Amino acid sequence: MRHAAHQGRSRLMIQRAFRVTAWLAGALIVCVFGALVVFRGLAVVRELDGVSRHAPASGRFVPTPLGHVFIQEAGPEAGPAVLLVHGTAAWSEIWRPTLDALAGRGFRGIAVDLPPFGFSEKSLASTYEPEEQGRVLAAVLAALDLRDVVLVGHSFGARATLEALLSSPARVRALVLVDAALGLDVPADVQPPLPLRALLAFEPLRSALVASTLTNPLLTARLLQSLIRDPADATPEAVAMLQRPMTVRHSTRIAGNWLERFLVPSGRPASQQPETYGRLHLPVLLLWGDSDTVTPLPQAQRLHALLPQARLQVLPDVGHIPHLEDAAAFNSALLGFLVNYGPGPATAGSTRNGTE
């Protein structure tokens, strides 16, 4: 009887433990779901402005067949052009120190807001795949009638930069890739797990996930710190700069469209195919942070092997965003390349933003 009683008590304890575990799991699911709903609601309330309302007066919108693209410029209008393309969740202002450095040496620096980020015109119907982003950049080159331009692409923005080069090679003189996230060795048949694909395919859940992470102002500093070597470089000013476009209407939903296609691509763009790089015969600079954990240095070495004419320059003590972490070292390396391989700087001509 004692054995039977012991078994009964054990069974009862297991049942209670199961009920407690089930209750805790249910409570956790409710909390997570509630948090997603709250953050999505906050995004809807926050994202009420048109793209032009809070765009800085230091820039302008360039009309193209693919929409109005926001750019910021510095330097002589007749100076040799350098087009700067940011990475995920950034915008043109992240290049401010580089724009000033270029202008100071007579170059015409042009930083573009690559849709769906920043203040450029956005569309709910677009998925913003690399080929489409490349066409946007090529449209900007055409609208500004830029020739002999040097393209500078950072992180995931490097994919669009490569696509722009491939579609408008006659306009491009040289290429600079900064900690480029190209995915060259990602197998074509790799897909996210089915539950994640299902989540991404359902727009309300997808938008709630993005609102809780990518476009959540409470996480901007944490996300920035995860990309850089020294957390102290995630200054309040840098965080506020990255947050500025977060009031643009439908930013979260459109970023979700981009995220779904990024994680579940419909094809393999040319910029992601290793054989593409053997067809590039222009000067190339690869600038890489030695402490980059997002696109580690072996990825730079792999890219360098595909581009034997390229120059690989490793910047010490910086992570994935060297132009933010150590602007002086980054700008010195970029200008050294431009002087040797880019078009010569202008010595005269009209200026933008008062830069002489």
CATH number at residue 311: 3.40.50.1820
Is 147 part of a structural domain of the chain? yes
Angle, in degrees to the nearest 10, between helices 203-212 and 251-263: 100
Is 51 part of a structural domain of the chain? no
Among 25-39, 304-318, 332-346, the range scoring the smallest mean pLDDT is 25-39
pLDDT for 189 equals 64
Which residues face 84 on adjacent strands?
111, 152
Is 227 part of a structural domain of the chain? yes
Work out the mean pLDDT of the chain and round it to a whole number.
85
pLDDT for 53 equals 66
Per-residue model confidence as pLDDT tens digits over 223-254 = 999 999 999 999 999 999 999 999 888 889 88
Is 356 part of a structural domain of the chain? no
pLDDT for 349 equals 34
Is 308 part of a structural domain of the chain? yes
Is 1 part of a structural domain of the chain? no
332 and 306 in contact (C-beta within 8 Å)? no
State the pLDDT confidence band at 191, using cuts at 50, 70 and 90.
Answer: confident
Q: How far apart are CA 330 and CA 288, in angstroms?
A: 9
241 and 234 in contact (C-beta within 8 Å)? no
Is 39 part of a structural domain of the chain? no
Per-residue model confidence as pLDDT tens digits over 59-103 = 999 999 999 999 999 999 999 999 999 999 999 999 999 999 999
Domain that holds residue 125: 59-346
State the pLDDT confidence band at 18, using cuts at 50, 70 and 90.
Answer: very low
pLDDT for 185 equals 81
Q: How far apart are CA 264 and CA 191, in angstroms?
A: 7
Q: How far apart are CA 175 and CA 144, in angstroms?
A: 18
Number of domains in the chain: 1
Is 152 part of a structural domain of the chain? yes
Q: Could you tell me how far CA 305 lies from the centroid of its own chain?
A: 24
Q: How far apart are CA 92 and CA 110, in angstroms?
A: 9
Its pTM stands at 0.85
Per-residue model confidence as pLDDT tens digits over 102-147 = 999 999 999 999 999 999 998 888 888 999 999 999 999 999 999 9
